[in-house]
Structure 1
């Protein structure tokens, strides 16, 4: 808990019980959950936690680059507590999302032009995970 307090403070976010709970959930659940999934999971132990608070917290954390906001899922924004450079893979059949290593030479991507400043790069891959690949082909 103390490390999360320090982590949030280091990203310019004033720690609160709700913010620490959301950050802790993301740090311990590497499933790239949606805001609704986070709310459902936390609501059992924090019954006064509203969906609005979860959404606002996630937006605040993403704006301060304490978490990643992912648009890899066309229907839902997903969230990732790991802000280190890495890629994401989404299975077209089962929808699982998992981390992959950053592409080779990813640091060079930040030097595309000299008159712009890139502060975030996201890599998305889509296809079939090993479980779905063994099943019947996509229709």
Structure 2
């Protein structure tokens, strides 16, 4: 299912529609993903929410994110082997990871012109497109130091 994150107005109802009991912790985790399109790690989510939710644990975040992934409302981004990130934008798009600052940016691509006919006999479960390099901000920073 492709959900456009702009369309999610009521997080509790959205979770219910996808068969997820909308506990306070689950709603806050999903809301964080909607409002912070930074492709966060579990640690990032934990640090952002632990003051607001003192009972929150990293285990709860892992379990919640796994549920969200199973229900198709969150995707996993693994560009580096040792780093798992998450996002709520389920539309087909690519990612660019800056090797200098580590930020991940959404890249919206027109995939309609790609010839994917050689994949017709395959059952595709996931699609990932990513690029690595130096982002615009880091390039500017490097030029200003030269």
Paired position in structure 1 for 2:46: 39
Paired position in structure 2 for 1:5: 12
Paired position in structure 1 for 2:126: 120
Paired position in structure 2 for 1:79: 86
Equivalent in 21, 26, 41 of residue 14 of structure 1: 21
SS of equivalent to 1:66: coil
Structure 2, unaligned stretches of length 5 or more?
Answer: 1-7
* Superposed CA RMSD: 2.2
Give TM-score, length-normalised by structure 1. 0.86
- CA offsets, 1:19-72, max 9 Å, x none? 111000000001111001101111110001111001110111112111111001
Take 2:22 and 2:28, find their aligned partners in 1: how far apart are those partners? 10
Q: CA shift at 1:13, angstroms?
A: 1.9
- How many residues matched? 135
Give TM-score, length-normalised by structure 2. 0.82
Take 1:38 and 1:46, find their aligned partners in 2: how far apart are those partners? 11
Take 1:111 and 1:60, find their aligned partners in 2: how far apart are those partners? 33
Q: CA shift at 1:102, angstroms?
A: 2.7
Asked if the contact 1:91/1:128 (under 8 Å) is kept, the reply is yes
Q: Provide closer, same or farther for how the CA distance between residues 23 and 108 of structure 1 changes in structure 2, counting only shifts above 3 A.
A: farther
Bigger mean CA offset, 65-74 vs 27-36: 65-74
